[in-house]
Chains A and B, each alone.
Chain A
Amino acid sequence: MEQLIEIMQNLHPDVDFETYDGLVDDGILDSLDIVTLITDINDAFDVSIPAEEILPENFNSAKALWELIERLDTV
């Protein structure tokens, strides 16, 4: 989780990712950010986030994103 926050902080240093829960809905993450984020996450956690998981509810908060990563790692 800390590693994920760090990755996200690299994108937008001014956002408090620990608590924010409207990253997509409020337009903080645009499609460009999302694609960058996915590349970083795939690299760091050895998962591959598929296109079908690119949904607002999965990217609205760091917590949701972390849950997605965990879910992808299980079968």
Chain B
Amino acid sequence: MNFASFEFLCFLCLLTALYYLVPKRAQWVVLLLGSVVFYAFAGVTCCVFLLAVIVVSYLAVAIMGKRQRACAAWLDANKELPKEQRKAYKNKNKKGNLAIVCTGIVILGAALVYAKFVSGYFGFKVDANGLHLGKYALEIMGISYYTFIAIGYMLDVYREKAPVQKNFAKHALFVGFFPQLVMGPISKYSDVGEQYFTPHAFSGKNLYCGAIRIAWGFFKKLVVADAIAPAVGAIVAQQKGGVFFLLLCLFYSVRIYGDFTGGIDIVLGAAEMLGIRLPENFNRPFSSKSTAEYWRRWHITMGAWFTNYIFYPLSVTKSMQKLSKWSRAHLGTAIGKRLPVYITTIVTWLFTGLWHGIAWNFVVWAMLNCLVLLVSQELEPLYAKFRTKFPKLHASAPYQTFMIVRTFCLMALIRVLDCYMNVPLTFQKLFSVFTEFNWGSLFDGGLFTLGVSKTSFAVIGVGILAMWGVSQLGKDRPLREKLWEKPWLGSLAFAVVVFLVLVFGTYGLGYDASAFIYGGTFN
């Protein structure tokens, strides 16, 4: 089921009504059944993958939980034994758990890699005529997200940072809660787990805040992102260079921002209507003043996942620790201190890139991000000097704006790699900015040959301003909560957003006057 569809809205309304009508003890069951219905729309193959991930993670978590309880009981019963012996017992138990969690990760990782990559070569499909083997790349909705949720949970249980969910159905709901099955966020059990199972009283505020957030998500997606999409497609398809490459960077940033943050607004809004707070995935990312800051504010739950489960564990492994000591002894403190961290940073980003898709453009994308991050880290002492020397200039509005614009441009340039999905072509087009001087096409109407009309550009422009305005108004706390406190303004705001989406949104079949002239189909 597509989020940006009427079916989804109907589904959500029905589910919400049912959710608040059933006895509170049964609310989580409604969520589970709703998730089953929602995912069933994706087809049998998708359901099989989700179920497999749920079962594997459940088994891993359950076995680890049992072993942990047994271990705690043993330690409790043998308090008089020497510390060393107790430590050894605990470590042995932990090692066993490590084997279990690793097995789980390998299985889930294999499923993920198979679905996203290997199936393109050795895939299958099921239709009325039975099973077919061959190059049928699978499209498993949301597998990157729920697999990561499940892996994160297994690791949290292994680390004893999350409770063990012994109830299989509840575990299934945690991994497969429907709003986050399409585009995340990648939630942690400690953040959301118990929320699913605690009773939620009906709350007008939750309902309003969730609904207007969904409406606003639709606005971002349909009025802005989908409206500019044809221009992105046209520039890429027609391989336009020069100034069009720069336009592509800008347009694609607008498109991905509207599409992704709008989609997440729908997800979080849907959950909020049900009284559940999923973790935020974005925090005004385009206001970031540095790349590091940007990655703390864009796709937050994914960044946190990679830091928690790849970067830090990798940093504290025995071999990394040894390497660190060795390199500091032999290469001097400056390099020695950096080498291990650089290696882990690069590896972490490599994983991040491959998670987006197993293709060269994502590898290059990841490495460029990594490069910018490491270079700016190295330049930090320089920046610090600059800050202490010119504190006034640094704090001035123009300089702050400059930093924001600089970060935006850098990120937009790197991001454009996933437009072309072709590394050499991307660089070729980048260089065409310096060789192909076609800035005139900005003013001679060339801009309007990209499948987006003048009036549409105007609406998109106003839409961007509106998105900026709303994010500014929501700096301290979400605008929707402020609106809820003003019944008149709040209700009107909702009505206005819905109206704008229905009239100016990009949806439906599109209107072509000539198609309605019958003669046109004849002659």
Direct contact of A and B (CB under 8 A): yes
A-side interface residues toward B, CB under 8 Å? 30-32, 34-36, 38-39, 42-43, 48-52, 54, 75
Which residues from A are CB-within-8-Å of B338?
32
Contact present for B324 and A54 (CB under 8 Å): no
For the complex, is B344 an interface residue (Cβ under 8 Å from A)?
yes
Residue-wise, chain B 328-354 has the 8 Å CB interface mask toward A (1 for contact) of: 000000000110110011000000000
Complex interface residues of chain B between 307 and 339 (CB less than 8 A to chain A): 307-309, 311-313, 315-316, 321, 324-325, 337-338
B-side interface residues toward A, CB under 8 Å? 75, 83, 86-87, 90, 155-156, 159-161, 307-309, 311-313, 315-316, 321, 324-325, 337-338, 340-341, 344-345, 377
Report if A51-B161 is in contact (Cβ < 8 Å); known contacts: A31-B341, A32-B341: no
Q: A38 to B315, alpha carbons, bound, how many Å?
A: 9
Report if A75-B311 is in contact (Cβ < 8 Å); known contacts: A35-B344, A36-B337, A51-B316: no
Which residues from A are CB-within-8-Å of B325?
39, 43
Q: Is the interface of A mostly helix, strand, loop or mixed?
A: helix
Contact of B341 among A35, A48, A51, A54 (CB under 8 A): A35
Q: A48 to B94, alpha carbons, bound, how many Å?
A: 14
Report if A51-B315 is in contact (Cβ < 8 Å); known contacts: A39-B324, A42-B321, A75-B75: yes
Q: A35 to B321, alpha carbons, bound, how many Å?
A: 9
Contact present for B308 and A51 (CB under 8 Å): yes
Q: A34 to B160, alpha carbons, bound, how many Å?
A: 22
Q: A70 to B204, alpha carbons, bound, how many Å?
A: 48
Q: Is the interface of B mostly helix, strand, loop or mixed?
A: helix
Which residues from A are CB-within-8-Å of B90?
75
Q: How far is the CB of A30 from chain B (nearest CB, A)?
A: 7
Which residues from A are CB-within-8-Å of B321?
38-39, 42
Residue of B nearest to A49 (CB): B316
Q: A24 to B395, alpha carbons, bound, how many Å?
A: 22
Contact present for A32 and B337 (CB under 8 Å): yes
Q: How far is the CB of A75 from chain B (nearest CB, A)?
A: 5
Which residues from A are CB-within-8-Å of B345?
31
Q: A42 to B340, alpha carbons, bound, how many Å?
A: 15
Contact present for A35 and B159 (CB under 8 Å): no
Residue from A32, A34, A43, A48 having most chain B Cβ neighbours under 10 A: A32
Contact of A51 among B83, B312, B324 (CB under 8 A): B312
Contact present for A35 and B315 (CB under 8 Å): yes
Which residues from A are CB-within-8-Å of B341?
31-32, 35-36
Which residues from B are CB-within-8-Å of A75?
75, 83, 86-87, 90
Which residues from A are CB-within-8-Å of B308?
51, 54
10 interchain pairs, CB-CB under 8 A = A31-B307, A31-B315, A31-B341, A31-B345, A32-B338, A36-B324, A36-B337, A51-B312, A52-B159, A52-B161
- State the 8 A-B residue pairs at the shortest beta-carbon distance, nearest first: A52-B159, A51-B313, A51-B312, A35-B315, A54-B312, A39-B324, A75-B86, A32-B341
Q: A73 to B53, alpha carbons, bound, how many Å?
A: 36
Contact present for A32 and B324 (CB under 8 Å): no
Report if A30-B344 is in contact (Cβ < 8 Å); known contacts: A35-B315, A75-B86: no
